[in-house]
Amino acid sequence: MCGTDGTNGANGTNGGSNGGAHFRSNPYQPVGDFLSNVGSFKIIESTLREGEQFANAYFDTETKIKIAKALDAFGVDYIELTSPAASEQSRKDCEAICKLGLKAKILTHVRCDMRDAKLAVETGVDGLDVVIGTSSFLREHSHGKDMAYIEKTAIEVIEYIKSKGLEVRFSSEDSFRSDLVDLLSLYRAVDKVGVHRVGIADTVGCASPRQVYDLVRTLRGVVSCDIETHFHNDTGCSIANAYCALEAGATHIDTSVLGIGERNGITPLGGLMARMVVTSPEYVKSKYKLHMLKEIEDMVAEAVEVNTPFNNPITGFCAFTHKAGIHAKAILNNPSTYEILNPADFGLTRYVHFASRLTGWNAVKTRVGQLGLSMTDDQVKEVTAKIKALADVRPIAIDDADSIIRSFHLTLHEQPGKAPPVEIRNGEPVEIANGQ
Ligand code: HCA
Ligand code: CU
């Protein structure tokens, strides 16, 4: 009923002359802060790594290449791939993507282990994202290594990768449940040997925005390298956490298309774009091809056999649908009244609902115009009452509302000044012939 692709009835022209007239200046500027990177962040797109850990994901080589090319065209800074140590095909796919000559830098994600690092540098990647668990949970129940061992291995692996002329990031899994002193001294040590980025990962999705702000801000004071962040969405904070990380001085955000990843995934690329285009419109619009978002999400949704969630930012089927009469009226006058995002920025159109019991006459008036009919305001109000009367009896479709409008108009034409011959009988609009 309310699509986002511009094919449905009331879309398209509803913006009228105000369609692009969103705010001239941006009233949503973040609190100014010299460490904030909300206007200069980079994206590490991990659909082909974290996303491959999504329950439904199986990407064959062709699909991986298609996704990598699309993400590159969209403008992401980095594309992160599954470790070549995961399987022989993963290694070959990594090599194949490196050979595409994309603008985005290609990274692969490896355990903090020299064998994995050696395998990865042979694939032709631009850099390695090295990771190891640092929380007591993971140290005790996963790899069983202590902090001294982690630091020593980390330094060896980082120095090796750097000696090959590649970019290297070092990250701790489960950073928010790691001991803060352990974490900071480890990061200080890897910063000293010249790691390009350190990473903070909320592996279990437990962190709140304020905790993220505090940790990143503290880390910002300890290391001089870039700071990458990675947020799982178990408690629904993945976009807010990414935003707070940037405010606190993080430089890189990990995303995946539709947020796919382990469990319910990580910061979604589209949701992050929605957040950041409001905060930093010039930066986001000049850097990323926002018009490609829907196509990329559809591509990934199809590959992993899911639907785009109805309430997805930007591309959810009703993300730009306005229903209540009060909303519709204001939107038709000026879309900024009830829209913080402009659908046109994403190549999409808004939709003003005109087939419900909440419908107001302004929306119906627009629909009358779209159907190429003309009525006075009083007539539009009359036909609106009919639409609402039917919608009080049952849910109605666009076609129902259109047929009420058309037959009402027909009667006006045939018998100017006479009462319109449409009545609701047994919950259906019924045209009343003369005298019946
Ligand atoms: C995982 C690893 C990771 C790594 C994040 C990073 C996480 O548990 O699968 O490299 O920064 O969430 O900790 O995705
Ligand atoms: Cu993760």
pLDDT tens digits along 313-370: 999 999 999 989 899 999 999 999 999 999 999 999 999 999 999 999 999 999 999 9
The closest residue, in CA terms, to atom 1 on ligand 1 is 203
Residue type, 51: G
How many Å apart are CA 146 and CA 436, to the nearest integer?
89
CA distances from 60 to 51, 102, 220, 268, 296 (A): 13, 19, 39, 22, 17
The closest residue, in CA terms, to atom 5 on ligand 1 is 201
What are the φ/ψ torsions at residue 30 (nearest 5 degrees)?
-70, 165
Secondary structure class of 110 (helix, strand, coil): strand
β-bridge pairing 127-133 and 351-352: unpaired
Which residues does a 6 A CB cutoff place in the pocket of ligand 1? 50, 53, 109, 129, 131, 171, 173, 199, 201, 203, 230, 232, 262
Measured in angstroms, how far is the CA atom of residue 123 from the centroid of ligand 2? 22
Residues of the chain scoring pLDDT < 70? 1-32, 138-139, 415-424, 429-436
Ligand 1 mutation pick, 109, 168, 173, max ligand atoms within 8 A of CB:
173
Ligand 1 mutation pick, 45, 186, 187, 230, max ligand atoms within 8 A of CB:
230
How close are the terminal C-alpha atoms of the chain, in Å? 34
- What pLDDT does 19 receive? 39
Task: For residue 173, give the ligand 1 atom closest to its CA.
Answer: 13
- What pLDDT does 137 receive? 72
Task: For residue 266, give the ligand 1 atom closest to its CA.
Answer: 12
- What pLDDT does 141 receive? 73
Task: For residue 131, give the ligand 1 atom closest to its CA.
Answer: 10
Measured in angstroms, how far is the CA atom of residue 268 from the centroid of ligand 1? 15
**Whether the Cβ atoms of residue 250 and residue 41 lie closer than 8 Å to each other:** yes
What residue ranges in 265-421 does DSSP mark as E strands? 321-322, 351-352
Measured in angstroms, how far is the CA atom of residue 154 from the centroid of ligand 1? 16
For ligand 2, a single-atom ion, the residues with CB < 5 A are: 50
Q: What is the DSSP letter of 312?
A: -
Spell out the long-range contacts of 410-413 with Cβ–Cβ below 8 A and sequence spacing 24 or more.
412/375, 412/379
- What pLDDT does 140 receive? 72
**Whether the Cβ atoms of residue 81 and residue 93 lie closer than 8 Å to each other:** yes
- What pLDDT does 434 receive? 46
Give the tokens for residue 88: 């022989």
Residue type, 71: L
**Whether the Cβ atoms of residue 43 and residue 253 lie closer than 8 Å to each other:** yes
Burial 175-186 (b: 16+ CB within 10 A, else e): bbbbeeebbbeb
| 161: CB partners within 8 A, 6+ apart | 117, 121, 127, 128, 130, 168
pTM exceeds 0.85 for this model? yes
The closest residue, in CA terms, to atom 7 on ligand 1 is 203
Task: For residue 232, give the ligand 1 atom closest to its CA.
Answer: 12
